[in-house]
């Protein structure tokens, strides 16, 4: 491992919570595509598959920030374990209903309930932020490592999920994802030494973290970015099936994640100067441009190459996003702020997967790649329009001064 990455693991407990975070994040790459594969296997309907995946994503978008807000106030262990049990029970109900061919509305009910799955990535990033608070270089490397972990999950997650559901039995992918979530969250929350200290409710002034203008821009752009990811997943499965190689979709999607993983690894080694906001806008625009070759895809090998190139822009953009979140959100709301970016992605995944499913059913898989193309244009537009907000004053410092002032006043009163 290159020295900058080795250095961040010198702190006690970092290896343990990183490993637990990896296991707990595998469902992020497995659940949605697993549901799409399962439902398409059982019913042959990509519209229904996409709608169920979208329901799960929307529910996670609504419930995720609320769970993270509770984590900021009460700690990871007290909140994550009950939430995980509810999510796992809901996934079990979804699989039973799908296997037994229950009415469609039951599938949507359990898919919505499964949305209380915690944002494990936000939890591990919050631990890094606590350990390396004030150390920008180490934190940049840590966030890059977390991005690599995300992409490794997206390399192996679809392969495992689609492979099990197509080779073993349709429900196998989502089932294993639920087991990974349960094991990962329990392992992570058992590590109390690196858990960020909760901030009592009296320290949470100013309402939601989403009131930050900079965070609003990031979340809005991530809605469009999530639509890219959701649409690419659904359309790629359909594209591979049309060519008689449905199981190969997992390999093609793994190549997409591999490009991002390699870019993230290199990005973490760099000591970049200049404005993060400018790098972020360039990254979003690169993601938009990379969707153009997908419109020309006529074979799986061509598609794999195009997705690999497209993946190169993902991880650097995500790493920069986390740095901007930390700059624009008060530390007492950091976990919530990071979860809002995941929420934006989840909403986008829901919209993108649903739109792509409908386009595929109506016009075929090749036409479905127009959905990520349009989504990329929207993401770039939001980035350009919101650039000034990202360059503006950051509320994190203001929030810190307010808290320091309150503590000083309390000291004088005592």
pLDDT cut 70: percent of the chain above it = 90
CB atoms within 10 A of CB 301: 10
Check whether 66 has a pLDDT greater than 70: yes
Choice among 53-62, 375-384, 400-409 with the minimum mean pLDDT: 400-409
Query: Helix axis angle, 300-311 relative to 314-328, nearest 10°?
Result: 30
Rounded CA gap, 165 and 174, in Å?
Answer: 8
pLDDT value at residue 306: 92
The whole-number average pLDDT for the span 73-88 is: 89
CA of 397: how far to CAs of 130, 274, 326, 330, 403, in Å?
16, 20, 10, 7, 10
In words, the CATH class of domain 3-196+208-393 is: mainly alpha
pLDDT value at residue 71: 85
Check whether 143 has a pLDDT greater than 70: yes
Instruction: Region of 75 please: left (phi>0), alpha (psi -120 to 50) or beta.
Output: left
Return all residues near 6 (Cβ < 8 A) that are at least 6 apart. none
CB atoms within 10 A of CB 133: 13
Q: What is the pLDDT of residues 291-302, one digit of tens each?
A: 999 888 878 889
pLDDT value at residue 202: 46
Between CA 308 and CA 40, with CA 238 as vertex, the angle to 5 degrees is 130
Are the C-beta atoms of residues 229 and 348 closer than 8 Å to each other? yes
pLDDT cut 90: percent of the chain above it = 16
Q: Determine whether 274 is exposed, middle or buried from the number of CB atoms within 10 Å of its CB (0-12, 13-18, 19+).
A: exposed
Q: What is the pLDDT of residues 145-191, one digit of tens each?
A: 887 887 777 767 777 887 788 888 888 888 998 999 999 999 999 98
Q: How far is CA 304 from the centre of its chain?
A: 22
Query: Helix axis angle, 136-167 relative to 120-131, nearest 10°?
Result: 160
- Model confidence at 207, in pLDDT bands (50, 70, 90)? low
Q: What is the DSSP letter of 293?
A: G
The whole-number average pLDDT for the span 244-257 is: 81
Return all residues near 100 (Cβ < 8 A) that are at least 6 apart. none
Instruction: Region of 212 please: left (phi>0), alpha (psi -120 to 50) or beta.
Output: beta
Rounded CA gap, 342 and 345, in Å?
Answer: 5
CA of 218: how far to CAs of 141, 153, 374, 380, in Å?
21, 23, 18, 11
Count of all residues that appear for the chain in the document: 414
Check whether 328 has a pLDDT greater than 70: yes
- Model confidence at 407, in pLDDT bands (50, 70, 90)? very low
pLDDT value at residue 183: 93
CB atoms within 10 A of CB 381: 16
Q: Scanning the structure block, which residue is given the tokens 């929207």?
A: 378
Choice among 223-237, 301-315, 330-344, 352-366 with the minimum mean pLDDT: 330-344
The torsion angle over the Cα atoms of residues 273, 275, 278 and 282, rounded to 10 degrees, is 20
Q: How far is CA 25 from the centre of its chain?
A: 9
pLDDT value at residue 381: 93
pLDDT value at residue 391: 72
Query: Helix axis angle, 213-242 relative to 46-74, nearest 10°?
Result: 150
Q: How far is CA 22 from the centre of its chain?
A: 13
Q: What average pLDDT does the chain have? A: 81
With helix as H, strand as E and coil as C, how does 200-257 read?
A: CHHHCCCCCHHHCHHHHHHHHHHHHHHHHHHHHHHHHHHHHHHCCCCCHHHHHHHHHH
Check whether 343 has a pLDDT greater than 50: yes
Are the C-beta atoms of residues 31 and 56 closer than 8 Å to each other? yes
Rounded CA gap, 56 and 54, in Å?
Answer: 5
Check whether 1 has a pLDDT greater than 50: no
Please choose, from the candidates 173, 183, 25, 184, the residue with its C-alpha nearest in 3D space to the C-alpha of residue 94.
Answer: 173
pLDDT value at residue 2: 52
Are the C-beta atoms of residues 360 and 46 closer than 8 Å to each other? yes
């Amino acid at each position: 491992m290159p020295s900058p990455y080795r250095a961040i693991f010198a702190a006690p407990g970092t290896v343990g919570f990183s490993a637990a975070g990896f296991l707990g994040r595998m469902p992020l790459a497995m659940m949605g595509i697993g549901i799409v594969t399962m439902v398409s296997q059982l019913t042959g309907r990509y519209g229904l598959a996409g709608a169920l995946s979208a329901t799960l994503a929307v529910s996670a978008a609504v419930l995720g920030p609320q769970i993270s807000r509770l984590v900021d106030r009460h700690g990871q262990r007290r909140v994550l374990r009950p939430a995980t049990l509810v999510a796992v029970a809901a996934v079990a109900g979804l699989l039973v209903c799908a296997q037994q061919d229950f009415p469609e509305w039951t599938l949507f009910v359990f898919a919505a309930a499964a949305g209380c799955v915690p944002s494990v990535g936000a939890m591990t990033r919050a631990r890094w932020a606590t350990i390396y608070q004030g150390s920008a270089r180490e934190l940049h490397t840590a966030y890059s490592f977390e991005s690599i972990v995300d992409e490794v999950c997206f390399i192996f997650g679809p392969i495992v999920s689609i492979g099990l559901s197509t080779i073993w039995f349709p429900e196998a992918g989502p089932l294993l994802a639920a087991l990974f979530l349960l094991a990962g969250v329990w392992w992570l929350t058992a590590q109390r030494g690196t858990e960020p200290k909760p901030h009592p409710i009296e320290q949470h002034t100013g309402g939601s973290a989403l009131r930050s203008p900079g965070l609003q821009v990031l979340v809005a752009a991530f809605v469009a970015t999530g639509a890219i990811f959701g649409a690419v997943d659904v359309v790629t499965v359909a594209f591979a099936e049309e060519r008689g190689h449905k199981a190969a979709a997992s390999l093609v999607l793994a190549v997409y994640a591999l490009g991002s993983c390699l870019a993230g690894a290199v990005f973490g080694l760099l000591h970049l100067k200049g404005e993060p906001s400018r790098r972020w806008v360039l990254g979003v625009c690169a993601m938009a441009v990379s969707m153009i070759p997908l419109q020309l895809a006529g074979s799986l090998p061509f598609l794999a190459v195009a997705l690999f190139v497209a993946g190169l822009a993902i991880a650097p953009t995500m790493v920069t996003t986390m740095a901007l979140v930390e700059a624009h959100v008060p530390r007492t709301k950091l976990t919530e702020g990071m979860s809002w970016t995941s929420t934006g992605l989840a909403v986008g995944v829901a919209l993108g997967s649903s739109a792509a499913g409908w386009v595929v059913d109506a016009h075929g898989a090749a036409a479905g790649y127009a959905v990520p193309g349009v989504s990329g244009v929207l993401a770039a537009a939001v980035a350009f329009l919101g650039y000034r907000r990202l360059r503006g004053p950051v509320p994190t410092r203001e929030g810190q001064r307010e808290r320091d002032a309150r503590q000083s006043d309390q000291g004088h009163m005592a």
